[in-house]
Amino acid sequence: GMPSQPTSLHYASPYQLSAYALALKAVGEIIQDYDSDKLFPAYGFGAKLPPDGKISHQFPLNNNADNPSCAGIEGVLESYLQSLRTVQLYGPTNFAPVINQVAGAAAQVTDGSQYHVLLIITDGVISDMLQTKEAIVTASALPMSIIIVGVGPAEFEAMEELDGDEVRVSSRGRYAERDIVQFVPFRDYVDDSGNQVLSMARLAKDVLAEIPE
């Protein structure tokens, strides 16, 4: 929806963060402690970009293609809010491009010195399920994990399927080498008003549940 409308999950009132911003802040603060330089490349997916209205599924939130890194979770939040003012949210919603991008970076690390964690914050709508499964199966051999945080009231069946707890994710007969996706429905961790995390400890435990030691 339009970020300026109260019905949008991107809507921030003067009194509270939007559903997306709260999830980003809460989960970001949990995982940032595992990063040494606190510089986080941040991307948006599913928007028309100025000036020509080109649809993109991996645009840097800070509008800097040469250096998409933001300083700390506060920097990511700032870039997200700035980006909302300049881009036009637009479908379809494709996950595969950004998964493949992080997989490409993870594939460069062959000596075990680095591990990549991709955090995807989504309302659960996905337009490229087949390509996303293919990307996850390929990425499952690499030093990376994916945390998917679902915001809003959707049913999230597709996200549960990508999590692969019941059935390992497969694509064209190939199964993921390991379960690299953890899905967390954010609404299970906030109060009825939707602006207060009930237990950061419980959220942290579940967010980190499938990240290797």
- pLDDT the model gives residue 130: 97
Residues in the chain: 213
How do the pLDDT tens digits run along the chain, 213 residues long?
789 898 999 988 888 889 999 999 999 999 999 999 999 999 999 999 999 999 999 999 999 999 999 999 999 999 999 999 999 999 999 999 999 999 999 999 999 999 999 999 999 999 999 999 999 999 999 999 999 999 999 999 999 999 998 899 999 999 999 999 999 999 999 998 888 899 999 999 999 998 988
* DSSP annotation string for 2-56: -TTSTTSTT---SSS--HHHHHHHHHHHHHGGG-SS-EEE-EE-SEEETTTTEEE
Measured distance between the N- and C-terminal CA atoms of the chain, rounded to whole angstroms: 38
Query: Looking at the domain that runs over 19-208, which CATH code has it been given?
Result: 3.40.50
The domains of the chain are located at 19-208
- pLDDT the model gives residue 1: 78
Identity at 28, one-letter amino acid code:
G
3-state helix, strand, coil in the chain (%, to 5): 35, 20, 45
- pLDDT the model gives residue 198: 92
